[in-house]
Amino acid sequence: QRPIWGNADGGTSYGRRVSERKCEEYSKAVVEKVPYIPLIPNPEPFTVSAAKCDYTGVELIVGGENANPGEFPHMAAVGWATFEGTYKFSCGGSLISPRFVVTAGHCIRDPSAQNPEPVIVRLGDQNIDSNVYDGANPIDVAIRRIHKHPDYRPPKVYNDIALLELVSDVKFRTEIRPACLWFQQDLRGHEKVIATGWGVVDTRTKQSAKELQKVSLSVLDEGFCNETLKFFFNRNWPDGFQPTQMCAGELSGGKDTCQGDSGSPLQVVSKDNSCIFHVVGVTSFGRNCADKGRPAVYTRVASYVDWIESVVWPGE
């Protein structure tokens, strides 16, 4: 049974999980009061609440496109120190609190790097090439500690999730804000999800994106995906799909998450506030990026909310 925490606010939050309450806090921060006067004689003015952010909700094109500046303010780039004294960004992640980023378990180690463990998280960026001026004002925050899920056993791909604890709290602003966690096992009517990342954009040349990309994907039935991908089962994925995983892609091909998108979020927009995203999945692995009939596999965030809450908000 999942843990439930209450708080002393008169009981209005009793019975709700801590991540749900945090999501409410995040949502209130991006709502503004707009004065409204009805067109009637002797009206009494009142206010209405309206979301204030740059997300447009425009349908995304085939193959993905550049994200708008500040459109995904929770998006994080996970960086490794290079021998040249710079950073190499090989994974993505999602800011979920002032101090924590959620990413993939396999993103906590890169044997080819100077230090196998990632050392920083970059937030608020659009183009991760430091030589390109894109108007963004990103920040680099050092990683204090890496929390690997206790059941993640690489190279197996199950329980592929981790938390990056930062050295200090991040100060939220328009371009840097946390996402909410999706805690329901089903997606409650969401048939499309949005994937974001700085991963491979040309599968032939393996060229990766410097500009943050977004792509709209269909949520696919796990049983169907299990059958579709069964020829790719191996010793690292011996039992096929588990309830802790989910599947998304386009069966016609051309749209997918690829290398470098690992750890990046699969997300839906809140139906109550278009400025708030819920992270439903973490990019885990795929076969032959964007090939026809080859969807990708994601870690299902809802399966790990108990663990995430225990690390990020212990005792709340």
* Rounded average pLDDT over 169-190: 94
Task: State yes or no: is 262 an active-site residue.
Answer: yes
CATH value at residue 122: 2.40.10.10
Greatest mean pLDDT among 8-17, 60-69, 154-163, 189-198 lies in 154-163
State the pTM of this model.
0.85
Weakest-pLDDT range from 52-61, 66-75, 190-199, 291-300: 52-61
Residues of the domain holding 42: 18-51
Taking 70 as the threshold, does the pLDDT of residue 176 lie above it? yes
Are residue 186 and residue 228 in the same domain, yes or no? yes
Are residue 159 and residue 203 in the same domain, yes or no? no
Per annotation, catalytic residue among 106, 147, 149, 278 = 106
Q: Is residue 110 part of a domain?
A: yes
Q: How confident is the model at residue 273, as a pLDDT? A: 85
Q: Is residue 60 part of a domain?
A: no
Contact by Cβ (8 Å): 104, 284: yes
Q: Is residue 232 part of a domain?
A: yes
Higher pLDDT: 131 or 101? It is: 101
Per residue in 52-81, pLDDT (tens digit) is 676 655 444 335 678 888 899 999 999 999
Q: How confident is the model at residue 287, as a pLDDT? A: 57
Are residue 46 and residue 79 in the same domain, yes or no? no
Per annotation, catalytic residue among 160, 216, 261, 278 = 160
Provide the percentage of residues in the chain whose pLDDT is more than 90.
47
Q: How confident is the model at residue 112, as a pLDDT? A: 83
How far, in Å, CA of 156 to CA of 105, rounded? 10
How many folded domains does the chain comprise? 3
Are residue 292 and residue 208 in the same domain, yes or no? yes
- Give CA torsion, residues 153, 154, 160, 166, to 10 deg: 100
Could you tell me where the beta strands, DSSP code E, fall in the chain?
A: 31-36, 46-51, 65-66, 75-81, 87-95, 100-103, 120-123, 139-148, 162-166, 180-181, 192-197, 200-202, 207-208, 213-220, 245-249, 265-269, 277-285, 296-300
Task: State yes or no: is 149 an active-site residue.
Answer: no
Q: How confident is the model at residue 121, as a pLDDT? A: 98
Are residue 188 and residue 239 in the same domain, yes or no? yes
Taking 90 as the threshold, does the pLDDT of residue 9 lie above it? no
Which residues lie below 8 Å from residue 157, measured CB to CB, with a gap of 6+?
A: 106, 236, 237, 284, 285, 297
Q: Is residue 112 part of a domain?
A: yes
Q: How confident is the model at residue 14, as a pLDDT? A: 59
Q: Is residue 6 part of a domain?
A: no
Taking 80 as the threshold, does the pLDDT of residue 47 lie above it? no
Q: How confident is the model at residue 11, as a pLDDT? A: 35
Confidence of residue 298 (pLDDT cuts 50, 70, 90): very high
Q: Is residue 149 part of a domain?
A: yes
* Rounded average pLDDT over 17-35: 83
Confidence of residue 48 (pLDDT cuts 50, 70, 90): very low
Are residue 195 and residue 134 in the same domain, yes or no? no
* Rounded average pLDDT over 178-187: 95
Per annotation, catalytic residue among 19, 90, 262, 284 = 262
Q: How confident is the model at residue 268, as a pLDDT? A: 95
Q: Is residue 9 part of a domain?
A: no
Q: What is the mean pLDDT of the chain?
A: 82
Q: How confident is the model at residue 53, as a pLDDT? A: 74
Q: Is residue 59 part of a domain?
A: no
Alpha-carbon distances, residue 22 vs 51, 110, 176, 224 (angstroms): 17, 32, 16, 35
Confidence of residue 235 (pLDDT cuts 50, 70, 90): confident
Q: Residue-wise over 46-70: b if at least 16 C-beta within 10 A, else e?
A: eeeeeeebebeeeebeeebeebebb
Are residue 193 and residue 172 in the same domain, yes or no? no
Q: How confident is the model at residue 260, as a pLDDT? A: 44
Contact by Cβ (8 Å): 96, 312: yes
Confidence of residue 28 (pLDDT cuts 50, 70, 90): confident
Task: State yes or no: is 160 an active-site residue.
Answer: yes
Per residue in 110-162, pLDDT (tens digit) is 988 888 999 999 999 998 887 887 788 999 999 999 999 999 999 999 999 99
Are residue 192 and residue 228 in the same domain, yes or no? yes
Are residue 112 and residue 199 in the same domain, yes or no? no
Q: How confident is the model at residue 255, as a pLDDT? A: 52
Are residue 83 and residue 166 in the same domain, yes or no? yes
Are residue 39 and residue 85 in the same domain, yes or no? no
Are residue 184 and residue 288 in the same domain, yes or no? yes
* Rounded average pLDDT over 33-47: 56
